[in-house]
Amino acid sequence: MAYPLLALALTGSPLEAGWTGFALTLPPLLFYLPAGVLTDRVDPRSLILFTETARALIVASVFLAVVLDGATLAHLLVGAFLEGVLWVVHSLSETALLGAATVSRTHLTKVLARSETSPHIAVSVGRPIGGILFGLGQAVPFLVNGALFLTSILSTRAMSCGGRTRRRRMGSLKAIAGGMRGLAGRSFRQEISEGARELMRHPFLWQAMGLTTVTNLAVNALIMIFITVAATRSPLEVGVVLAAGGMGGVLGSALLAPISRRRPGLLSRPGSGLLFAQLWIGVAAFCVAAFGGHPLAFGLTMVLTGCTGALGNVVIRTYEVQRVQRSVLARVMSVHRLMTHGAVCAAAPLGGFLASAYGLQTAVRGLSAAVLLIAVVASLLALVLRRRRAVAGPVPGRRRAVAIPPAPALAPHDPPIAATTTGELHATGELHATGELHATGELHATAAPAASGLRREHGGRPVAAGRT
């Protein structure tokens, strides 16, 4: 808020203020992928220390320029752009730091829920406070922001790691320089390809990326449509609607703990059902805006989408931290967030075009119809694919993990058990058979397969790490 407001105060031009806001939102589009590559090569704590220190220096330079009456538009544009770049690196490093830490699932969920709450509080409370602080003095928001960065630096320096307190001075710069040297000889395209392949290896993640991209585009376009008619509404109505999304995000983060207690599989085994539930709740929310016709209907839509969005974000981040390989975690996140943030950037011109071309009500209903159509198509496609997989069954010869429950104890008079498989059989523990085990594919065991009277017949090559 402070950068565009200061630009407007200096130049009196809304266009210049808009360019300053654009300088803040452009870096994620340009630097998410390079930042992901860097974060995978450097200690995330070192990156957090560096980025927070650099952001504090930038804010301090703007504060001094305002106090000394030397602030210029060029200074603001450069400062806003650099702050945006550093924020991108910080956001990836924050999640990567959790991935490197050894924490319980319950504690991880609490930490991620608090992390998700912070930006929503900033949206619903920080923007009005920023405006109030700017009214007290043009330099006041930058002074307060600098104090917040200093608090973040001190808390990061005092972080405990493995029971020890880590305090770094020049270690952050040395770690970043070492990470940059580690990139020598590797192409940027190769680094990003590794992250993209890891993301596509997790169906839940690429499905979530598609859903989040669609919802971000639709919700932010709806906000822009509402802003186009804000001049005809009271300031209170406009403020409530714009803050409603943040309020919904805080609500969603607060609901995560009780929901995860009732449904523990929500975080440990998330699936496409969760994503489609979020999509259809979004459809219902858009219908409220399309047929409500009142600013409070827009506010309710923002609350619902903000709530489900916060829940989905925590589930996705928990999945990333727990399931994605640590060596490519930041690159996976960078690909994911580039797509979802790109949708946010594209939403503003889309919403403005719809509002100017078709008017408020028609634009909102058309956008809602598009979201409904996407939800129907995605749901039908998922249903067709699921039925095809169910009819086709497992593909012969394709590797599949087979969970082998403990065998029941056999009475002396019970006949031996014969087991047959037409694909490949993988066992991560010991494989015991008192009868016959037939396999037409491959038999894999990471421990010793022990058999009493075992006969192995298969058309593929035998692969066993233990005795047979």
Q: What pLDDT score was predicted for residue 56?
A: 92
Instruction: Tell me what percent of the chain is helix, strand and coil, each rounded to the nearest 5.
Output: 75, 5, 20
Q: What pLDDT score was predicted for residue 159?
A: 65
Query: Which tokens in the block code for residue 361?
Result: 């009500």
The Cα–Cα gap between 223 and 343 comes to: 13
Out of 50-54, 101-105, 147-151, 438-442, which region has the weakest mean confidence (pLDDT)? 438-442
Q: Are 191 and 183 in contact (CB under 8 A)?
A: yes
Mean pLDDT, range 326-343, rounded to an integer: 88
What is the DSSP secondary structure assignment for residue 60, as one 8-state letter? H
Q: Pick the closest to residue 425 from 452, 405, 447, 398 (CA basis).
A: 398
What DSSP string runs through 63-86? HHHHHTT---HHHHHHHHHHHHHH
Residue 419 has pLDDT above 90, yes or no: no
Mean pLDDT, range 337-360, rounded to an integer: 85
Residue range(s) of every CATH 1.20.1250.20 domain in the chain: 199-393
Q: What pLDDT score was predicted for residue 452?
A: 42
Residue 328 has pLDDT above 80, yes or no: yes
- Reported as a single tens digit per residue, the pLDDT across 174-226 is 666 665 555 555 677 888 888 889 988 898 888 889 888 999 899 988 888 88
Q: What pLDDT score was predicted for residue 167?
A: 43
Q: What pLDDT score was predicted for residue 417?
A: 43
Residue 296 has pLDDT above 90, yes or no: no
At 447, the pLDDT band (50, 70, 90 cuts) reads: very low
Out of 87-96, 283-292, 431-440, which region has the weakest mean confidence (pLDDT)? 431-440
Q: Pick the closest to residue 77 from 32, 19, 145, 29 (CA basis).
A: 19
Q: Are 347 and 221 in contact (CB under 8 A)?
A: yes
Tell if the pTM clears 0.85, that is, is over it.
no
CATH number of 199-393, picked from 1.10.10.350, 3.30.420.40, 1.10.10.60, 1.20.1250.20: 1.20.1250.20
Out of 123-127, 200-204, 238-242, 279-283, which region has the weakest mean confidence (pLDDT)? 123-127
Percent with pLDDT over 70 in the chain:
69
Residue 57 has pLDDT above 90, yes or no: yes
Q: What pLDDT score was predicted for residue 236?
A: 66
Q: Which of the pair, 79 or 295, is modelled with greater confidence?
A: 79
At 345, the pLDDT band (50, 70, 90 cuts) reads: confident
At 376, the pLDDT band (50, 70, 90 cuts) reads: very high
Beta bridge pairs of residue 450: 432
Mean pLDDT, range 126-135, rounded to an integer: 71
Q: Are 166 and 155 in contact (CB under 8 A)?
A: no
- Reported as a single tens digit per residue, the pLDDT across 64-84 is 998 888 888 889 899 989 998
Residue 151 has pLDDT above 60, yes or no: yes
Residue 305 has pLDDT above 60, yes or no: yes
- Of 77-81, 97-101, 188-192, 438-442, give the range with the top mean pLDDT: 77-81
Kind plus residue range of the DSSP H or E element containing 452:
none
Q: Which of the pair, 183 or 366, is modelled with greater confidence?
A: 366
Q: Which of the pair, 442 or 269, is modelled with greater confidence?
A: 269
At 139, the pLDDT band (50, 70, 90 cuts) reads: confident
Mean pLDDT, all residues of the chain = 75
Query: Which tokens in the block code for residue 311?
Result: 């829940």
At 353, the pLDDT band (50, 70, 90 cuts) reads: confident
Percent with pLDDT over 90 in the chain:
9
The Cα–Cα gap between 100 and 238 comes to: 42
At 165, the pLDDT band (50, 70, 90 cuts) reads: very low
The amino acid at residue 391 is: V
For 352, list phi and psi in degrees, rounded to 5: -65, -40
Out of 221-225, 229-233, 368-372, 455-459, which region has the weakest mean confidence (pLDDT)? 455-459
Out of 5-19, 107-121, 130-144, which region has the weakest mean confidence (pLDDT)? 107-121
Mean pLDDT, range 35-62, rounded to an integer: 89
Residue 421 has pLDDT above 70, yes or no: no
Out of 39-43, 171-175, 252-256, which region has the weakest mean confidence (pLDDT)? 171-175
At 429, the pLDDT band (50, 70, 90 cuts) reads: very low
Residue 241 has pLDDT above 50, yes or no: yes
Side-chain-side CA neighbours of 90 within 13 Å: the count stands at 20
Q: Which of the pair, 236 or 417, is modelled with greater confidence?
A: 236
